[in-house]
Structure formats: structure tokens, C-alpha cells
Chains A and B, each alone.
Chain A
Amino acid sequence: MTHFNRRRFLQVTAAAGALVISAPKLSFAQDMNGDDRYRNMDANLGFYLKIDADNSITIGYSAPDDGTGVSTALPMLVAEELDVDFAEVETEKLPPLYKANDGSNPRGGIDPFINQTYKGQPIHQSTGGSQSIRQSYDMLRQAGAEARALLMKAASVQLGVPMSDLTTDKGHVISGSTKLSYGSLAEKAASVTIDFEPKLKEPHEHKVIGTDQPQKVAKDVALGTQKYCMDMELPGMLNAVIARCPYIDGMVKSYDDTEALKVPGVRHIVRMHRIPQDRKEQKYIADGVAVIADNHWAALKGREALEIEWDDSMWSHADNAWIDGNFDNIVKNEKPRVRLEHGDFDKAYASADKTLEVAYEQPYWAHATMETPCGIVDVQDDKVIVIAGNQTLVRIMNDLMKVLPGYTHDQFDVTVMRVGSGFGRKFIVDAATEAAICSKAVGAPVKVIWTREDDLEQDFYNPKGRHIFRGGLDKDGKIVAANYLHCSTDNDFATHAFPAHHVPNYRGEVINSKVLPSGPWRGPTENVAGYAMQSFVDEMAHLAGQDPLQYRIDMFTETGDTPHPGFSSDFMVAERFINVLQIAAKNAGWGKELPKGHGIGIASFMTFGGYAAACVEVKVDGDGTLTIINASGAADPGIAVNPQGCRAQIESGTLDGFSAALGQEIIIEGGRVINNNFDSYIMARIDRAPHKFNAEVVRNTISPKGLGEMSLPPAIPALTNAIFDACGVRIRKLPIADQLEKAMKG
């Protein structure tokens, strides 16, 4: 051992100039010892923590970061209990920790690979569903607390004083006037044991959790040195571009690659077969033809030179108008599934004082992740090297396994990169799966990069839907009857969302008719249910002649807490909802006198157990020009681990919602998506972001949820409610596009 690299993890047995412990490894050992992959982690960061002799501290994180800031927030949890200065801490992505499924998967899955466990709990190596913080909140604090206890035990032995006489402060164990750095205790700490479960801090004792921390990657990003999957290479790597059938559920009928093979740099053509084969099942891998070349540009030119005849027969009749017409038909002719019912809607509606029947429509949205799907795979005889930028490690493993039969889990060497935005899209491991198919076919490492056209044509879209409401008011203006029929191309139903439990006679129903492939998109279901339900409540408030904010507060106050089972929550707590509504309203100046042509709107929604509200002020000119003047977002996710990161998600969720509402719409014509780049799929630039923006995260001591998704669902209806307040035009169909210009003319 002659060379010491500070980034290199050293086992305590190694005699080097610096010593490192992997304190929680003592806890992990039981699980890991049966698996050679984890016996020696010395080429990598140890589990969660590395302390060097110079007292530099590196904390690992297991979940990929797709922009929500978990690569900063997760290490903060370890740092809190370890008691170190977070500004001095370095962070590093942990290597994959997975094992073959021996049937012990608590979910009972049949997937070949599952996450490794720590004390029986799966190590969370996924980001999405706003789950990263809440699923690791206890585990990572325990890991930090154990490491601190071991360091204190080591100091206790060294100084000959009882542990109860010791304290810690910023990377040091303190005994009276003696101060020992964690680095100086690291070697001994790795050889002692503790026979108790260290007590975790109470929230009021937190020194790291709840403090504003900048993203640890901020500087790498600003310098352009941060690497993503698309930036990676393997020796001898070829580049693939794939011609995927642009027609929905279409196939290659025939193709001619003569000209493609003449393009300099093009090496191979590989026929890609649809997965699954049954075209009635949702497409995972499109039918197509891959062009594999020395570089991306040659592959692109090769693809242009391919002659392909497509079979478009499955959906050649489909366009957006056809889907709308199909909604008309199924609403008329099919019986919806009732998802939640109480009271007697029909009776109460029939006898209501005032009624409203209204439908809200929203289009398909694409994810359009900034980094298009990409994957790099080298299938060798005895191993498989994978570089991916996906949200879930285990899905990478399991999906590749399906196209690479015969390989065992210990033959996979997987690197999960920082994700160039996910929004749910990167749960799907299609690009890496395609790279595996290509690599196996040509016997070389292959990188697959999707063009933007590929991405927008072959996405797993947020479903298109129509939300039909019937509502009845009593003489006091209270909603006594509501029926919500959600007609969607593919969706679950926001069963327990406000105001389902706040209306005495309620029936919520869903009816589906699938066309395009669908997948999770920031705040699945709730992203559009929020728009529909909060528009409906707003319309009912106006019908009742009441203030839309007070109307909502009264409903929450009167009903109190309501059930909200599933997706990380049991209850919807009225007080927390009222709180975020009031914060958002106050921060945007609700109630102040507005200039002519201005309007203000409010909305709230609960997503993945977190409460969020948005309040928006707009100006609508006489010609219909819309300006978003001011916006505020408030969210209550429980304990805000990194408030600065939380506010970033409130800002992002709100503006992302505006972007979707203003311009985004997938257009299908002749059975294919035709708007396939940013000139025709319209996403907001900085000019659509209000000059005034206030994001506030509630501070409390309630067990944390997440914040990646919850700010989007209320943002859209807050905007459309504000438009109504400004000019009397109710946006009942997204995108807003040029509706206001047309309405103001007519």
C-alpha cells in the first residue's frame, strides 16, 4: 500500500497514511457477508460514510438524483446524527447494492433482483413518487447515529472515561477540554462495538436538518464537469440511433439498409423487435431498425438513409378529435367504475338549489426530459457493463435481465448516473434495454441516444382525459352533491382528493380507453385531477357567490380531517391544508385591490402525503394577452430537511405546471404523434415565469414526505382560476394556448 487516494475507501485492516471506517458496515455486514460483491467495498465508498485521518468526511447516497436535490438532502440525514459540519462534507453516489431475489422480497415480487437490505429494510435506490426522503429518513439517521456512537466509544476507550461523559461537536468527540477529531478515532472506532441502539435526536435538537444547504453538485454543474449518462463512454464503444415505428403500436413491414450501410462510419444494422410482442399490450421497446456507427452523427445520417415501410394499421384512424369522440361514446355507452361513493348523489343533485354541470379537458403531455433517454451497455461473455441514467436501480437490472437471459446478478456492473431530469420518464429503462440488445447483437459496447423527435414520438405520456362534474348547492351555497366522472386514456383516479370527503353526497367514477402508451408524469393522476377538482370547487364558490379562498377554508373547517389512504398518507389533515392555503394567499396578496384586467386565483392539492397550495395573479389584456404577474407556492411536506431544496421544488413544480397549462399538448394525426420537437411541443421559457415569485415551505416537526411533485397539481388551477377572476373566461380545456385571444375577440 504505497499510494493513498483520499477518494478511495480503505478497509480498517489496511495500513495506510489515513484510516477510514465504514461504521454502519458493522450493521450491514450480516446482510452483505453472503455476497462476494459486497465483501470488499474497497474500490468504492463504504456504506454511507467514510472518515479519513485528516477528518475529511464523505457521505454516500444510494438514490439517484434527477434534479430534486436528494443527493444533498439524503447525506444531510446522516450528517445530522453524525454531528458534522455539512458545509465541509463531501458527497458521493454509492455503488449499486442489490442481490438476487431469494424469495425474501417483502413485496413478493418475481423480479430477479431486489435492493439490498439494512436491518431488514430495503436500501432505497430509487427516486420518484416523492419517496426518497421519507423512505430513508429513519435509516440514514440511524446510520449516522451508529457511527457517532462508535466514535464516542473509541474515545471512551482511548481516554478511559465513560461514554456518558462525552459529547460531540462538528466532527469531534469532546471530553472536558480534550477534543479528538473523528479522523483520529476512525481506526479504533472500526474495531469497537456497541450493544445499544443509539437514540436519535428530537426535531428541536436538529442542527443540519432544517438548514438551507446549496446543492453539492452546483459547482460541477456550473463548470460543465458534471457527468450524465449521455457524457459517458466505454472503450471501443459504438453509437446507435434507432428508427422506431412512429405509428402507435405499429411495426416494420420491410426495410432496405443498402444506402444506410454506405454512410461512412456506419458499421451495423440491427432489427429491433417490439417488446412485448403482443401489440395489445403497452409497448415497451418499439419495433424498428437500429443503425450502429462510430459516432452519433454517422448513426443519424445512416438512419436518414434507411428505407422503411411501416405497418400503421393499428391506429391509423386515431387523432386527437377521434379520441375526444371516443370519450363521447364511452361516456354514453359504458358503465364507469365507481371508486368512492357516499350519501345519495342522484337524490341530492335532483333537489339542489343550484346546479352546475361542467367538463374539463386536458391533453396528453410528454415528459420531454432535458437529457433524452440514453443508455450504454457492453454485453461480454462473462459480464455485462451498464451505464444508465434512470430513476430506479432495480428496474435497470430486471429489465436488462429480460433481454439478456443466462446472466446472473453478480455478472452485472452497473453505474447509475445523475439523471438529466426524470419526472417519471426515467423509471422506464428502454434506452438501456435497447443498448443491451444492440451490444449483444454486434459484440461491442453500444450507446443509444434518443433524438428529441424519438423522445416526443415514443414517450410514455401523461394520459389525455375529460373530467365531467355535476355539482349541487344548497340554499346556503354549500356543495351538497357532487359527481366526478374521470374519463381517461389510461389512469387511476384521485379517489380521496378534496372535495370528495367534504361533500355529503358524492360519487367518484372512472372510465378508461387506452390509446398511447402511458407512464408516471410528475404527480401522476393528481397533476390533472388537481386542475379539474380545483376548477370545479372554484366554479361552485362563484356559483354560491362566495370568496373562493374562504369557501375552501370553510369546507375544511366544517369537515375536519378526512381519510386519504394510500401513497404514503392515511389522513388529510384540515388544519395543514388551511395553513398552506393561507400562506400562499398571503404571499401573493390575496384580498388586495387589483388593477383593472388583473385577477387572482387560488388552489390547493394533496399529493403523496404532502400539502400544497398556489396563488397566482395574472393580467389579461383586451386582446387576450396573458401575463402571469405574481405567483406564490406553499407546501407542507412535514419536516423540511433542506428548506432551500424544498423551495426549489415549489418553484419548479409551480412553473412546470404553468408550462404544461400554457402550451403543452401532444398532437396525434393519422395514428402518430406529429409535434415531435420544441418548435411544436411548446414548453415555457423564462418569459412565462412571473417576475415576482414566492416559495414558502412550512416548518414543522411532522414525519417528512417528499416535495418533488406536490406543487404542480395546485399551480394549474390557481392560474386558470386567476384568469377567470381577471376576465371572466373559464379555462375548461388545456392547454390555454390562444384561447384567451380568441375569447376576447369573440
Chain B
Amino acid sequence: MVEFTVNGKKHNFNGDEEMPLLWYLRDEAKLTGTKFGCGISQCGACTVHIGGEAARSCSVPMSSVDGENITTIEGLGQAERMHAVQRAWVEEDVAQCGFCQSGQIMAVASFLKDYPNPTEADIDENHTNLCRCASYARMRKAIHVAAGYLRGEM
């Protein structure tokens, strides 16, 4: 049996441990904010935090999450108290179709821990999630806005 937490709640899992975390979250835990995009860890639509670090859940087998603390987009912030990255995303009106944006936000929330004052080059090198709508122009602005919030500038 695999035991772990998702958004602070205890979960345990008895099924096929080869199953990727993504499908546990979506099909079993019914946390559908985490999206399927490619299944091979290329697009980042499935990004969650494991121990506070971004991970692409489509390629994380259940066997490897024992004892881990997992955060999904549903646990990052709430409607009344959004995470800085979520706030920036809303204010900059980043989303188009929106399907990849949970993953984008989770990836950026983790990235900004390592790069609290990111340069454009830091963003280019480290933020590799795919947005099929190519909302990158606003995403770039929103990353800087979110970084400002997290540094306590607003």
C-alpha cells in the first residue's frame, strides 16, 4: 500500500503501482484540475508539486509517491485567497482555452522559489511547459508580476 498526502489530506492506494500519479489524481481522487497533455513528461499540463517541487505527474508512478506530500492546483490557493501566481494569471488575463494553465501555474509557482527575481533568460531556460494557444506574451508578464507579489512588493 502506498500512503501519501494530497493537498494536506491523507490518501492511500492499493491498486496498480505502475499507474501514473496523474491518473490517480484524475480518476480516483477526482482532482481534475491537473490535466493530461502528452503522457511523456513533455508538455507539463499535468504539473503538480511533490514535496514542494514541480513534477510532471503523468510520468510519476504511484510506487514512487509513498510518504510524499503532493499539492495540486486545487490545493495551491483558494478563490478567496489565491496564490500569487494565480492572482497574476487572472490580472494579466493570461488564459485562452485555459487547459494547460493549471500546469503552467504549478510550474511557475515552483520556479519562482528557485528564481525569486527571474531574468528573461531564467524564464526561457527553465519554464518549458507547452501552451498550445501560445499565451506566452502574457505569461511572461504574469511571471514577473507574480515574482513581485512573492517578494512582497505589492
Expressed in whole angstroms, the Cα–Cα distance for A654 and B32 within the complex equals 30
B33: Cβ under 8 A from any A Cβ? yes
Residues of chain A at the chain B interface (Cβ within 8 Å): 65-69, 214-215, 217-228, 230-231, 239, 264, 295-298, 301, 368-372, 418-423, 449, 451-453, 644, 648, 651-652, 655-656, 658-659, 677-679, 683-687, 689, 691, 693, 695
Expressed in whole angstroms, the Cα–Cα distance for A422 and B133 within the complex equals 9
Expressed in whole angstroms, the Cα–Cα distance for A703 and B18 within the complex equals 56
Expressed in whole angstroms, the Cα–Cα distance for A419 and B99 within the complex equals 8
| A217 in contact with B98 given A225-B33, A227-B32 (CB within 8 Å) | yes
In the complex, residue of chain B having the shortest beta-carbon distance to the beta carbon of A371: B99
Expressed in whole angstroms, the Cα–Cα distance for A556 and B125 within the complex equals 43
B95: Cβ under 8 A from any A Cβ? yes
Contact indicator B72/A224 (Cβ below 8 Å): yes
In the complex, residue of chain B having the shortest beta-carbon distance to the beta carbon of A422: B97
Mask of B99-125 contacts with A, CB within 8 angstroms, 1/0: 111100100000000000000100111
User: B132 contacts which of A295, A297, A683 (Cβ < 8 Å)?
Assistant: A683
Contact indicator B93/A691 (Cβ below 8 Å): no
Interface of B, helix, strand, loop or mixed by DSSP: loop
Q: Which residues of B contact A372 (CB under 8 A)?
A: 36-37
Q: Which residues of A contact B39 (CB under 8 A)?
A: 451-453, 677
Q: Which residues of B contact A368 (CB under 8 A)?
A: 132
Q: Which residues of A contact B89 (CB under 8 A)?
A: 218, 221-222
B86: Cβ under 8 A from any A Cβ? yes
Contact indicator B42/A678 (Cβ below 8 Å): yes
Number of A-B pairs whose CB atoms are under 8 Å?
184
Which interface residue of B20, B78, B124 has the most chain A CB atoms within 10 A? Answer: B124
Interface size on B, residues (CB 8 A): 62
Q: Which residues of A contact B16 (CB under 8 A)?
A: 264, 297-298, 301
Expressed in whole angstroms, the Cα–Cα distance for A683 and B130 within the complex equals 8
B147: Cβ under 8 A from any A Cβ? no
Q: Which residues of A contact B135 (CB under 8 A)?
A: 648, 651-652
| A295 in contact with B23 given A219-B79, A368-B132, A686-B140 (CB within 8 Å) | yes
Contact indicator A222/B86 (Cβ below 8 Å): yes
Smallest CB separation, B31 vs chain A (Å): 8
User: A370 contacts which of B42, B74, B99 (Cβ < 8 Å)?
Assistant: B99
B57: Cβ under 8 A from any A Cβ? no
Expressed in whole angstroms, the Cα–Cα distance for A226 and B89 within the complex equals 14
Contact indicator B132/A224 (Cβ below 8 Å): no
B139: Cβ under 8 A from any A Cβ? yes
| A678 in contact with B35 given A218-B89, A651-B138 (CB within 8 Å) | no
Q: Which residues of A contact B105 (CB under 8 A)?
A: 222
Q: Which residues of B contact A655 (CB under 8 A)?
A: 134, 136-137
Expressed in whole angstroms, the Cα–Cα distance for A423 and B95 within the complex equals 16
Given A423-B132, A452-B39, A678-B40, 9 further pairs, Cβ under 8 A: A65-B97, A68-B96, A225-B33, A295-B27, A678-B37, A679-B40, A685-B130, A686-B128, A687-B125
Expressed in whole angstroms, the Cα–Cα distance for A446 and B139 within the complex equals 36
In the complex, residue of chain A having the shortest beta-carbon distance to the beta carbon of B78: A223
Expressed in whole angstroms, the Cα–Cα distance for A222 and B94 within the complex equals 9
Contact indicator B32/A231 (Cβ below 8 Å): yes
Smallest CB separation, B95 vs chain A (Å): 4
B11: Cβ under 8 A from any A Cβ? no
Smallest CB separation, A334 vs chain B (Å): 37
Contact indicator B90/A297 (Cβ below 8 Å): no
Contact indicator A222/B43 (Cβ below 8 Å): no
Smallest CB separation, B19 vs chain A (Å): 5
| A226 in contact with B132 given A297-B23, A689-B140 (CB within 8 Å) | no
Contact indicator A222/B90 (Cβ below 8 Å): yes
Contact indicator A69/B96 (Cβ below 8 Å): yes
In the complex, residue of chain B having the shortest beta-carbon distance to the beta carbon of A680: B42
In the complex, residue of chain A having the shortest beta-carbon distance to the beta carbon of B75: A224
| A228 in contact with B99 given A656-B133, A685-B128, A687-B124 (CB within 8 Å) | yes
Contact indicator B73/A223 (Cβ below 8 Å): yes
In the complex, residue of chain B having the shortest beta-carbon distance to the beta carbon of A451: B39
Contact indicator B133/A695 (Cβ below 8 Å): no
B131: Cβ under 8 A from any A Cβ? yes
Expressed in whole angstroms, the Cα–Cα distance for A222 and B146 within the complex equals 13
Contact indicator B97/A651 (Cβ below 8 Å): no
Q: Which residues of B contact A685 (CB under 8 A)?
A: 127-130, 136
User: A644 contacts which of B42, B93, B132 (Cβ < 8 Å)?
Assistant: B93
Q: Which residues of B contact A230 (CB under 8 A)?
A: 32, 35-36
Contact indicator A420/B93 (Cβ below 8 Å): no
Expressed in whole angstroms, the Cα–Cα distance for A301 and B35 within the complex equals 19
Contact indicator B93/A224 (Cβ below 8 Å): no
Q: Which residues of B contact A453 (CB under 8 A)?
A: 39
Q: Which residues of A contact B76 (CB under 8 A)?
A: 224
Q: What are 9 residue pairs bridging A and B, where the CB atoms are less than 8 Å apart in the complex?
A: A67-B97, A221-B98, A222-B95, A222-B105, A224-B32, A231-B26, A370-B133, A421-B96, A651-B138
